[in-house]
Structure 1
Amino acid sequence: MLLKGKQATDFARKPKPSVWAVLAFGEDPGLASDAARALIQAWTPKGTSMDVTTLDDDSIRKDPSLLFDGLEAVSLLGDPRVIRVRTSGDKIAALLTEAIQKGDSRDGYYAARLVIEAGSLQKRSKLRAAAESAQNTACLQLFADDAGDIEQRVQAALKAEGVQITDDALAVFVGDLPGHRTLANSEIEKLSLYARGLERPVEVDDIRALSATDVDHNLSAAIRAALDGNPALVHNALDRLAVAGTSGISILRSLQFETLRMLDAQSRIAAGQSNPGMKLRPPVWQSEWGLFSARLRKWPTKRLMRVMERIYEAEQQAKSGSGSADPVIRVLMNEIARAAELAK
């Protein structure tokens, strides 16, 4: 059973009772993580706690029994159980497919429920195909928030604190949010904590003050500097991120998201849209379009695809090495900055 977009999000909040397993996937892993949390909350009966076991590709490949024994085991305390699997693609697709097919063979085959979080999955993905075809497994395809969705999330978070936000402040805050859902959630949480007890609407000056030393702004600065062709600024921003303890994989994820956004823009321009900024995720505001379009001229589609390839290569190199990922990230960001510097 395949559900997309809002239907998928709504299902995660209120899953069908007969569904025992869910595959949540999308280009932004943070979306799948949010869906998994919503599912676990929905599956947890009132007055009880959920016993959650989290597994990843490496742990399951090394010991597949962790997956199957975990699904079959019954909690000693009688609490409901969920096996939460985070996978980067089809590395363990055969094992997960086997689990889905067995669990769908009859009601109550496993004692625990299963939720699988994945990144982007193509239609030909074996894991996706298994989840789509299974009768009692839901396949949730999640899409990045548009500006309206993000604004609603910000307003809802502030409303819970009894605080409003001015329209200008909301536009500034949403425009500066990182595209990655997990990072965006963190920023919204920070804003909510800041607004607690403020006893007046949040204004533009509040947003600027809150963001003045923000790690995510250093992250955005590093990405922009690389794509604009400014190696010195890249290394300065990376130094600040290193001091803050930002992981190399987080930098790669942000670079990947911005590259995908630029590819989306190039595709829209090729289709005849002269200024598609507001249709991108997150949107490029009119005041920012000049700089963004100049960046696009440096990075045509073919070069952006090469950047995507280098991101995947750097991630594999960073994960396979025993030392710090920092040198790998610095080399990649410097290469991108030098290429943009030479671009006409």
Structure 2
Amino acid sequence: MLLKGKQAITFSRRPDPAIWAVLAFGDDEGLASDVSASLVKAWTPRTGALEVSVLDDDAIKKDPALLFDNLEAVSLLGEPRVIRVRTSGDKIASLLAEAIAEGDTGEHRYAARLVIEAGSLASKSKLRAAASSANRTACLQLFADEAGDIEDRVKAALLEVGATIDPSALSAFTGDLPGHRGIANSEIEKLALYARGLGRDVTLMDIRALSATDIDHDLSAAIRATLSGDLVAANTALQRLEIAGTSAISILRALQSETLRMLDAHKRMAAGEGAPGMKLRPPVWQSDWPAFRARLAKWPQKRLLRILERIYDAESQAKSGSGSADPVVRVLMNELGNAAALVD
């Protein structure tokens, strides 16, 4: 059973009891993780607990029996169990497809439920095909949040701590959020912590103050340094991303987002807008505009369009690897940094 977009999100909150396994996949691994967490919450009994075990590619590839042993194991306390498997590409697709097919042979074939978290999967992916065709497995294809969805998440998070936010502040905050779901969640949590007990609406001044004092996202720092030609700062930021376990695809997504923002700025300036920073998404604050304008000078429209082509090529290769230090992304970032450094 294949469900896409909002249908997939709705299913994760109220899953069909007949479904024992779920594959959640999309370009943003953070979104797949959120959906997995929603499923775990939905499967947790109102009176009782749920035992959750987490496995990854390396563990299962090293010991294939580990997956099936965990699925068949019964909790000593009699609690329901869920196995969360985090995978990328088709590294262990055959084993997961085998488990999915075996789960179709009987309602209680396995003692535990299974939820698989994956990144982007091609339409011909063996894992995707197995989940889509199975009778008792849901295949959830996830897409990036729309602007309205992000605003709803921010307002809901603030409401939980008894806070509200001005419309202008909400627009500025959501516009400045990174595309990666996991990082965006972290920023929303920080905002909620700031707003707890504030006693008034969160204002645009609050958002500006938070943006001015908060440490730059390593993703944004890496992209800015690369496009500015600051190779030392770019490599330092990339090393921090590697330590944090940021995926190569997330780095490419951030680079793509910034490239599109710069193209939008060129278009607006060509139409006669002098400094359109606050109209961009995410906005460029007045204090950041000179540095952003300098990067625009290094990267005219034709060069930015070439970056988009390189991103597409790099993404095709990077999806076959793992980790933020993927050589394909490293090479691309170094080449862009060197190119920017050559432009005065």
TM-score range, shorter chain: 0.7 to 0.9
Give the letter aligned to residue 250 of structure 1: T
Instruction: Report the Cα distance in structure 2 between the residues aligned to 1:3 and 1:56, rounded to whole angstroms.
Output: 24
- CA offsets 1:77-113 (integer angstroms, 9 cap, x no match): 0010001100001110100000000011111000000
Change (3 A) 1:113 1:296: farther
Partner of 1:212: 212
Instruction: Report the Cα distance in structure 1 between the residues aligned to 2:95 and 2:76, rounded to whole angstroms.
Output: 26
Instruction: Report the Cα distance in structure 2 between the residues aligned to 1:65 and 1:251, rounded to whole angstroms.
Output: 27
Question: Contact 2:251 / 2:324 at 8 angstroms: preserved in 1?
Answer: no
Matched, 1:236 2:233: yes
Change (3 A) 1:106 1:313: closer
Alpha-carbon distance, 1:287 to partner:
6.1
Q: Percent identity?
A: 54
**5+ long unaligned stretches in structure 1:** 269-273, 276-282, 320-324
Change (3 A) 1:340 1:298: farther
Question: Contact 1:51 / 1:79 at 8 angstroms: preserved in 2?
Answer: yes
Alpha-carbon distance, 1:163 to partner:
1.3
- CA offsets 1:162-192 (integer angstroms, 9 cap, x no match): 2111122112211111110000000000100
Partner of 1:56: 56
Question: Contact 1:164 / 1:202 at 8 angstroms: preserved in 2?
Answer: yes
Instruction: Report the Cα distance in structure 2 between the residues aligned to 1:164 and 1:147, rounded to whole angstroms.
Output: 18
RMSD of equivalent CA atoms: 3.5
Partner of 1:299: 304
Residue 154 of structure 1: SS of its match in structure 2? helix
Partner of 2:172: 172
Task: Point out the more displaced range, 145-154 or 250-259.
Answer: 250-259
Instruction: Report the Cα distance in structure 2 between the residues aligned to 1:313 and 1:71, rounded to whole angstroms.
Output: 27
Instruction: Report the Cα distance in structure 2 between the residues aligned to 1:44 and 1:248, rounded to whole angstroms.
Output: 30
Question: Contact 2:219 / 2:254 at 8 angstroms: preserved in 1?
Answer: no
**5+ long unaligned stretches in structure 2:** 265-269, 272-278
Change (3 A) 1:315 1:16: closer
Partner of 2:198: 198
Partner of 1:131: 131
Residue 161 of structure 2: SS of its match in structure 1? coil
Instruction: Report the Cα distance in structure 2 between the residues aligned to 1:264 and 1:28, rounded to whole angstroms.
Output: 18
Instruction: Report the Cα distance in structure 2 between the residues aligned to 1:131 and 1:101, rounded to whole angstroms.
Output: 9
Q: How many residues align?
A: 321
Instruction: Report the Cα distance in structure 1 between the residues aligned to 2:45 and 2:81, rounded to whole angstroms.
Output: 11
- CA offsets 1:241-285 (integer angstroms, 9 cap, x no match): 86x78736427444221245479899x9xxxxx99xxxxxxx953
Partner of 1:285: 281
Instruction: Report the Cα distance in structure 1 between the residues aligned to 2:44 and 2:324, rounded to whole angstroms.
Output: 39
Task: Point out the more displaced range, 1-10 or 39-48.
Answer: 39-48
Give the letter aligned to residue 185 of structure 1: N
Counterparts of residues 25-174 of structure 1 (less than 5 Å)? 25-174=25-174
Change (3 A) 1:51 1:295: farther
Alpha-carbon distance, 1:125 to partner:
0.3
Alpha-carbon distance, 1:123 to partner:
0.8
Residue 105 of structure 1: SS of its match in structure 2? coil
Task: Point out the more displaced range, 254-263 or 61-70.
Answer: 254-263
Give the letter aligned to residue 231 of structure 1: G
Question: Contact 1:178 / 1:216 at 8 angstroms: preserved in 2?
Answer: no
Residue 83 of structure 1: SS of its match in structure 2? strand
Residue 95 of structure 1: SS of its match in structure 2? helix
Change (3 A) 1:331 1:97: closer
Instruction: Report the Cα distance in structure 2 between the residues aligned to 1:262 and 1:218, rounded to whole angstroms.
Output: 14
Give the letter aligned to residue 49 of structure 2: S
Task: Point out the more displaced range, 81-90 or 330-339.
Answer: 330-339
Instruction: Report the Cα distance in structure 2 between the residues aligned to 1:214 and 1:251, rounded to whole angstroms.
Output: 23
Instruction: Report the Cα distance in structure 2 between the residues aligned to 1:82 and 1:251, rounded to whole angstroms.
Output: 25
Instruction: Report the Cα distance in structure 2 between the residues aligned to 1:93 and 1:99, rounded to whole angstroms.
Output: 10
Q: Which runs of 4+ in 1 moved over 6 A?
A: 262-266, 289-293, 328-331
Alpha-carbon distance, 1:335 to partner:
2.4
Instruction: Report the Cα distance in structure 2 between the residues aligned to 1:63 and 1:194, rounded to whole angstroms.
Output: 45
Change (3 A) 1:153 1:98: same
Instruction: Report the Cα distance in structure 2 between the residues aligned to 1:42 and 1:248, rounded to whole angstroms.
Output: 29
Give the letter aligned to residue 69 of structure 1: D
Question: Contact 2:220 / 2:254 at 8 angstroms: preserved in 1?
Answer: no
Question: Which TM-score applies when normalising by structure 2?
Answer: 0.82
Instruction: Report the Cα distance in structure 1 between the residues aligned to 2:188 and 2:316, rounded to whole angstroms.
Output: 31
Partner of 2:276: none
Change (3 A) 1:251 1:235: farther
